[in-house]
Amino acid sequence: MAKDTASATQKQSFEEFCHQAFDPTKEFSKPEALKGVRVLSCTQYILGPSCASYLAELGAEVIKIEAPRRGEAMRHTTPFNEPFLYPLSRWVPERGTGLGFLGANPNEYFISVDFHRPEGQAIVKKLAAKSDVMVENYRPGTFDRWGIGYRQMKEINPRLVYCWLGGFGGWGPGRVRASYDILGQSQGGNFGMTGKQEFLGGAPSKHTIWLADYWGGMMGAVQILAALYWRDKVSGEGTFTEYSQVHGVTRQLEYALPLYGRHGITRQRWGNWDTQLCVHGIIKCGKSSYPGSENPQESEEGYILISAYTDEDFARLCKVVGDVKMAEKYAKTENRVKAQSQMEIYPWLEKWAADKTKEQVAEIMDKANINNQPVWNAKEVANHPHWVQRGAVRWLDDPTFGELLHQGPAYKMSATPPRLKWALKPVGADNELILGKLAGLSTEELRRLEEQECI
């Protein structure tokens, strides 16, 4: 039997093995890693919600608590509030939920509770008593002041893992400031070295997406998993964890801080080029990939990453471009990486690509065995067969809203895969289910609290 298994393994390629082990169509036939773990998500915007949602992808029962009727602010801060496709709630049917809400809230149960009111705080305590984890990202000390912070909750449930995420942490001279993604990246040091070079007219540049928030949510989820392990395997008790968004950004600065500490050098912006490798950067092509499109986002010229930083690769690149002089002048890596050298090399490449689309450049690079990647937009990512086959981008048959194009989980697990069950729900959609089952509220109590806008 063992011999037959070994023979079958030898015949199966590694690609076939991975496809079989991680096949996204088999996700729902396998168990969930965090099934049985209950998470109370008292969160808003992206930082806190993404933390809880990552746990929901792994099978945790995540209960999202929002303000009654209108929900949390993130539902109203992104475009395309579509009341028919995304009804806000049964109390406010004429308003919708912005599309930005989808990325950080899949797989959750949605209830509504007013944290300010004593009856609402009593409900939160009842839910926390039956939960493993509580996540919140209000300003530091807010929940503690309302009587529903960690110090109060640990008396109710000593096994509760309480995760607070915020901008600057719960202590220190900057703690009282509120933070958003852009502020966190500004103070954390990211923007100081992100953006185009000054001599090209550049300035520090923000990321269009909320990288600090989604990174922070992931780091919060890692903390929670570690705390659950400690509780279940070592101490038997819950714990309090804190995540500072700004400190998380500083954690991303790689060698910038050691460079300053050792040499007093402040790392600067270097745009789409690289300070350590050349050629290893993004160049502008001269033609659009969609010449007939009336969409201004498609009619602009394309961009492509070209990576030919070894001496051998650069020699092949020069052969492709047809420039013997550049091959001789910059034959060695130490000559190419100099700032003045890159200021000549990249414009030289863009001049060569001025009559080409990014796809044409990619085809030429592929034939010459030079590493490259056209810069894709959302349309190109959504339709690429690699991401579609792997389930990274998928059509979700959402039980509430029908077909939605959505991101799949970003990682694979062969035995207990993460999965996408539903995208979101209207505000308070699960009030009866959750508050009846876990808080013991009767139909009459639910109706009364709804009329008073407490839930």
Summarize pLDDT for 140-194 with one digit per residue, the tens: 999 999 999 999 999 999 999 999 999 888 888 877 777 788 888 888 888 888 8
Query: What's the CA angle centered on 69, arms 64 and 75, to 5 degrees?
Result: 60
For residue range 18-33, list pLDDT tens digits in order.
999 999 999 999 999 9
pLDDT, average across residues 37-56: 97
Predicted local distance difference test score (pLDDT) of residue 330: 97
Return the pLDDT at 56: 98
100 CB neighbour count, 10 Å cutoff: 18
Domains in the chain: ranges and CATH: 11-251+391-451 (3.40.50.10540), 280-377 (3.30.1540.10)
User: How far is the CA of 207 from the CAs of 160, 212, 213, in angstroms?
Assistant: 35, 9, 11
Predicted local distance difference test score (pLDDT) of residue 172: 84
The span from the CA of 285 to the CA of 169, in Å, is 44
Q: With contact defined as beta carbons under 8 Å apart, do 353 and 375 qualify?
A: no
Model confidence band, residue 449 (pLDDT cutoffs 50, 70, 90): very high
Q: Which two tokens stand for residue 358?
A: 């990014």
> Length of the chain, please?
455
What is the SS3 assignment for 95? coil
The pTM (predicted TM-score) of the whole model is: 0.92
Residue 176: predicted pLDDT: 75
Closest CA to 309 of 275, 343, 340: 275
Of 165, 204, 212, the closest CA to residue 188 belongs to 212
The average pLDDT across 125-149 equals 96
> What pLDDT, on the 0 to 100 scale, is given for residue 292?
86
Is residue 272 within 8 Å of 249, Cβ to Cβ? no
